[in-house]
């Protein structure tokens, strides 16, 4: 016997109400699909709980055990709550609440007994699918969610009377196809509103870059391939050696760590108005920065708990209100809770205006730290004839000599005088080691200096956009010279390959590169075809994020404005041709609308005709069952109608005529013309039944019924 004709377990049991093994399996597979959408972000033990619940229901069905008691269900819910509380340390975050929703959804199968319960399970599943987009809104998540929704809709079709799997999937495809145009129209024209709720980002950042660094901190970021942001340039991008993405300006040094002094802290410490350090708006208030012409670019930023916004050099203008800081950095007014687009014009160069904190602030050093570094700085200063330019060249030249080396796995520094330990003991470090030492040596001789933390480089994709990742994190130095801040990057002196080719090109300690991402596709960059597939997928995903997820009010307004402009041009062209042409256009439009209506009507008739006469009769039987007149076990459709005819009042003759017409269509050898006439008669009799059937009590709902349309 072929698999398609093997007898299967019933969707409903013999009483027409309780769920059979096929339906329970359908619901469990739907739960597995929904759980799969969340599995990367929720505890894995939820999968074990789903299997345990399904196993219990299977044994319950096979051995005809009683339904799960109230005590068992309460214990299961209490255990779920306690486990989630322990895993997330409370219910203060959205992830714990999502875990609770998912757990309740899985436990619902314990008390799912009839069609009503099954529909509730499916509806909760649809809500849980929607919640999955709080985790991720990428293409893979969208495709997986679409497949899961199709499975859940198919479950609803089974519950509504599908004959077999083929019929259920055909109905599901029909429902999805009908809803697709409406979804597309709503997506294009419906106003975008801020989310009523979203994934909180408290204490969680998409990038490990911090507003304070000590030697060795940034080296840890080389272990991760997490994406920080993506950028698309309106024109040609700068060369790799000029891609310095500014995030934080660190001007305070305590002997170990460089930290960012906030505008409020600077205002309080220096007794200056807050407006001297920060302004809100869409354009910088600090005047022009270095660079001849600004770079116009579009950033696709990842979610982050901090309001930082990267810029290529000093920012000049943005497309939304942001906070421009006088130190050349850009801040948002609030953290990013989801991926966001930011259009930015920036100089590509450090700020060309003074910092109101003054030279004294940018030459401060703790008096009792790093004595050997101070002594070295003073000796080099004397040897350079107190010439700042010669002195800075001497500092960089010293780093370019042996035994100094640039490594992704620098020795750990734990002492109080870490700059001394680096310069005179280990002599091996990462960008933060060299930047910290250079800034300290500049300040020692009175040259204003500060450390800038951000990113350097970015992977260029075939379509032109750049991807900047955590391992591109970088630190460099700015010194005040000749009325402007000037970039000074000691990494370019000791490891130029890091600046030109990225962190992956550094040979020293290369085993640390991507150490936290053992399965990263970036490890396949040396394999041509694999790297090409990776780049193509990232290109598609980037376009998805920009065109679909990033579709916002401005894009909608541009689309609608374009459509209206096209209509206006068409009307103007008709008006220019004269009144007769305008009338001809109106008549043509009305004729086209009429033809479209007739075409849709014929398409509907064709689709209904393909379903066959049995489908029409099944719809009538389902309608009768909802009114208390279901079919009995083993009863044919015609016998069902004939049995109801004596108690059907005015609809009795129509029931008998419909039964006779149906049997002739199924069994009699008819020609095409006679078959068409019988079908018209059948449709006419079915309409008469619906109009003339009295609302009697009929048979007891559910008694002896076999189809899932029986009212429960």
| Angle at CA of residue 543, ends 538 and 548, nearest 5° | 130
pLDDT at position 6 over 50: no
Please list, residue by residue across 186-205, b when 16 or more beta carbons sit within 10 angstroms of its beta carbon and e when fewer do: eeeeeeeeeeeeebebeeeb
Q: State the CB neighbour count (10 A cutoff) for residue 562.
A: 10
pLDDT at position 546 over 90: no
Give pLDDT tens digits for 452-489: 999 999 988 888 889 998 888 899 999 999 888 999 99
| 428 and 413 within one domain | yes
- Sign of the four-CA dihedral 45, 46, 49, 50: negative
Which comes out higher in pLDDT, residue 547 or 695? Answer: 547
433, 489, 613, 685: which is the annotated catalytic residue?
A: 489
pLDDT of the residue at 604: 59
Does some domain include residue 582? Answer: no
Under the banding of pLDDT at 50, 70 and 90, the label for residue 697 is very low
| Angle at CA of residue 322, ends 320 and 326, nearest 5° | 140
Which comes out higher in pLDDT, residue 394 or 568? Answer: 394
Does some domain include residue 371? Answer: yes
Looking only at the bridges linking them, the beta strands covering 405-406 and 428-429 are: parallel
pLDDT of the residue at 5: 41
| 388 and 305 within one domain | no
pLDDT at position 564 over 70: yes
Identify any residues that bridge with 475 across adjacent strands, giving them in sequence order.
Answer: 453
pLDDT at position 609 over 50: yes
Under the banding of pLDDT at 50, 70 and 90, the label for residue 585 is low
Check if the beta carbon of residue 652 is closer than 8 Å to that of residue 621. no
Check if the beta carbon of residue 233 is closer than 8 Å to that of residue 479. no
Does some domain include residue 659? Answer: yes
Average pLDDT over residues 607-619: 62
CA gap 530, 300 in Å, rounded: 25
Q: Would residue 474 show up in a list of annotated catalytic residues for this protein?
A: yes
pLDDT at position 382 over 90: yes
Does some domain include residue 198? Answer: no
Does some domain include residue 467? Answer: no
CA gap 596, 642 in Å, rounded: 41
Average pLDDT over residues 339-357: 88
Q: Would residue 362 show up in a list of annotated catalytic residues for this protein?
A: no
431, 433, 465, 640: which is the annotated catalytic residue?
A: 431
Under the banding of pLDDT at 50, 70 and 90, the label for residue 700 is very low
Q: State the CB neighbour count (10 A cutoff) for residue 435.
A: 30
| 107 and 13 within one domain | yes
pLDDT of the residue at 3: 45
Give pLDDT tens digits for 199-239: 444 334 344 678 888 776 666 667 778 888 999 998 888 88
Give pLDDT tens digits for 637-659: 888 888 888 888 888 888 888 88
277 contacts: CB under 8 Å, gap ≥ 6: 263, 266, 267, 325, 326, 327, 356, 357
| 142 and 57 within one domain | yes
Which comes out higher in pLDDT, residue 349 or 584? Answer: 349
433, 474, 640, 685: which is the annotated catalytic residue?
A: 474
Does some domain include residue 466? Answer: no
pLDDT of the residue at 152: 94
| 421 and 331 within one domain | no
Please give the helix or strand (H or E) that residue 380 lies within, else none: helix 371-383
Does some domain include residue 42? Answer: yes
Average pLDDT over residues 110-120: 86
Check if the beta carbon of residue 333 is closer than 8 Å to that of residue 307. yes
| 414 and 333 within one domain | no
Q: Distance of alpha carbon 655 from its chain centroid, rounded? A: 55
Question: Which among 49, 38, 51 is positioned nearest to 96, based on CA atoms?
Answer: 38
Average pLDDT over residues 676-699: 74
Within 124-262, strands assigned E span 212-213, 227-233, 244-250, 252-253, 258-259
| 156 and 72 within one domain | yes
| 286 and 365 within one domain | no
pLDDT of the residue at 12: 61
| 486 and 427 within one domain | yes
| 23 and 126 within one domain | yes
Average pLDDT over residues 546-557: 66
Structural domain harbouring 309: 212-354
Under the banding of pLDDT at 50, 70 and 90, the label for residue 689 is confident
CA gap 332, 305 in Å, rounded: 11
Q: State the CB neighbour count (10 A cutoff) for residue 168.
A: 22
| 382 and 497 within one domain | yes
Question: Which among 479, 459, 477, 476 is positioned nearest to 468, based on CA atoms?
Answer: 459
Question: Which among 190, 219, 250 is positioned nearest to 432, based on CA atoms?
Answer: 219
Number of domains forming the structure of the chain = 5
Q: Would residue 211 show up in a list of annotated catalytic residues for this protein?
A: no
Give pLDDT tens digits for 411-454: 888 778 889 999 999 998 888 899 999 999 999 999 999 999 99
Does some domain include residue 674? Answer: yes
| 173 and 123 within one domain | yes
């Amino acid at each position: 016997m072929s698999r398609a004709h093997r007898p299967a377990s019933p969707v409903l049991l013999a009483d027409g109400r309780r769920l059979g093994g096929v339906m329970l399996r359908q619901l469990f597979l739907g739960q597995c699909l929904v759980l799969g959408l969340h599995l990367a972000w929720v505890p894995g033990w939820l999968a074990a709980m789903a299997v345990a619940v399904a196993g219990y229901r299977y044994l319950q069905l096979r051995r005809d055990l009683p339904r799960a008691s109230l005590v068992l269900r309460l214990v299961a819910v209490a255990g779920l709550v306690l486990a989630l509380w322990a895993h997330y340390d409370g219910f203060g975050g959205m992830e714990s609440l999502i875990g609770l929703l998912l757990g309740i959804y899985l436990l619902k199968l314990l008390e799912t007994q009839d069609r009503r319960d099954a529909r509730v399970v499916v509806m909760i599943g649809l809500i849980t699918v929607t919640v999955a987009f709080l985790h991720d809104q990428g293409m893979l998540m969208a495709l997986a969610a679409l497949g899961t929704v199709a499975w859940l809709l198919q479950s609803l079709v089974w519950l509504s009377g599908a004959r077999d799997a083929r019929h259920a999937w055909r109905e599901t495809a029909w429902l999805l196809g009908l809803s697709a145009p409406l979804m597309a129209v709503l997506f294009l024209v419906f106003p975008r509103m801020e989310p009523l709720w979203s994934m909180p980002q408290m204490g969680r950042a998409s990038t490990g870059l911090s507003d304070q660094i000590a030697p060795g901190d940034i080296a840890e970021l080389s272990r991760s391939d997490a994406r920080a942001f993506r950028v698309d340039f309106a024109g040609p991008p700068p060369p790799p050696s000029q891609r310095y993405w500014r995030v934080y300006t660190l001007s305070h040094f305590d002997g170990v760590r460089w930290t960012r002094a906030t505008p409020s802290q600077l205002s309080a410490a220096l007794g200056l108005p807050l407006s001297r350090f920060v302004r809100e708006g869409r354009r910088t208030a600090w005047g022009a920065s270095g660079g001849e012409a600004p770079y116009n670019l579009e950033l696709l930023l990842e979610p982050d708990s901090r309001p930082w916004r990267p810029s290529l050099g000093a920012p000049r203008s943005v497309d939304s209100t942001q906070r421009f800081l006088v130190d050349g950095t850009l801040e948002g007014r609030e953290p990013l809770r989801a991926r966001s687009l930011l259009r930015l014009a920036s100089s590509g160069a450090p700020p060309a205006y003074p910092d109101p904190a003054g030279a004294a602030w940018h030459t401060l050093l703790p008096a009792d730290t790093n004595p050997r570094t101070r002594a070295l700085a003073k000796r080099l200063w004397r040897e350079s004839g107190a010439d700042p330019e010669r002195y800075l060249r001497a500092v960089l030249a010293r780093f370019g000599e042996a035994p100094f080396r640039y490594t992704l796995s620098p020795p750990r520094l734990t002492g109080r005088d870490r700059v001394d330990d680096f310069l005179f003991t280990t002599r091996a470090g990462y960008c933060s080691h060299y930047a910290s030492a250079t800034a300290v040596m500049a300040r020692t001789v009175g040259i204003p200096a500060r450390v800038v933390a951000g990113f350097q480089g970015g992977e260029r994709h075939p379509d032109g956009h750049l991807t900047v990742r955590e391992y591109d994190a970088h630190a460099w130095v700015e010194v005040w010279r000749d009325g402007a801040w000037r970039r000074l990057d000691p990494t370019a002196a000791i490891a130029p390959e890091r600046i030109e080719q990225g962190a992956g090109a550094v040979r020293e300690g290369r085993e640390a590169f991507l150490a936290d991402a053992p399965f990263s596709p970036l490890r396949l960059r040396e394999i041509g075809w694999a790297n090409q597939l990776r780049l193509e997928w990232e290109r598609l995903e980037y376009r998805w994020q920009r065109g679909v997820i990033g579709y916002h009010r401005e894009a909608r307004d541009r689309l609608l404005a374009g459509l209206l402009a096209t209509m206006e041009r068409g009307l103007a062209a008709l008006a220019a041709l004269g009144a007769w042409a305008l009338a001809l256009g109106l008549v043509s439009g009305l004729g086209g609308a009429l033809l479209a209506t007739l075409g849709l009507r014929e398409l509907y008739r064709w689709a209904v005709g393909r379903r066959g006469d049995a489908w029409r009769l099944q719809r009538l039987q389902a309608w009768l069952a909802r009114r208390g007149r279901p079919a009995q076990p083993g009863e044919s459709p015609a016998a069902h109608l004939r049995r109801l005819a004596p108690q059907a009042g005015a609809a009795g003759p129509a029931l008998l005529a419909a039964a006779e017409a149906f049997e002739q269509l199924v069994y009699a050898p008819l020609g095409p013309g006679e078959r068409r006439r019988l079908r018209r008669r059948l449709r006419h009799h079915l309409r008469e039944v619906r109009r003339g059937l009295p609302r009697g009590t009929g048979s007891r709902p559910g008694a002896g019924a076999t189809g899932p349309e029986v009212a429960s």
